[in-house]
Structure 1
């Protein structure tokens, strides 16, 4: 594991400490690593949606615009609790 030194704002430090105090995590490092994992997973979802939009746009299967398709994906993800 690589050791890093970062600077954070006071409000963010209070929030990190609260996560540890609430026993959600054992350390602030765990909180930061979990946030990074979630951000990476979200990026993977974004890439998946982008690929679906490109495929749909190129297939000629729909006459919806990319913005309309993206809106529909987001609405479905919200309904499913994924977003």
Structure 2
């Protein structure tokens, strides 16, 4: 994987935060911390996209049906019994 150098500007408070994360042993240097933040942001965006797709699929899946709580509870009890 090729690496690209970027220059960023941080406030003093942000810079102190990054230094604290490194001094705490969470990251080896500023770049590791920034890359971790980017990875987490990418993962969060992916989770939102998956959730939105699931909502869209649900909305387009047809007319809603009434909820049968007793059958849901029975299924849950059956699963719990099978797991024990």
- TM-score norm. by structure 2 comes to 0.71
For the pair shown, the structure with the greater C-alpha radius of gyration is 2
In structure 2, the partner of 1:31 is 33
Structure with more relative contact order (C-alpha pairs < 8 Å, separation 6 or more): 1
Q: What stretches of structure 2 of length at least 5 have no aligned partner?
A: 66-84
Matched, 1:50 2:52: yes
CA contact (8 A) 1:16 1:31 kept: yes
1:59 match: secondary structure: coil
- TM-score norm. by structure 1 comes to 0.72
C-alpha deviation, 1:61, in angstroms: 5.1
CA contact (8 A) 1:25 1:31 kept: yes
1:24 match: secondary structure: coil
Question: Aligned partners of 1:4, 1:52: CA distance in 2, in Å?
Answer: 36
Number of equivalences: 63
In structure 2, the partner of 1:79 is none
Tell me which stretches of 4 or more aligned residues in structure 1 moved more than 3 Å. none
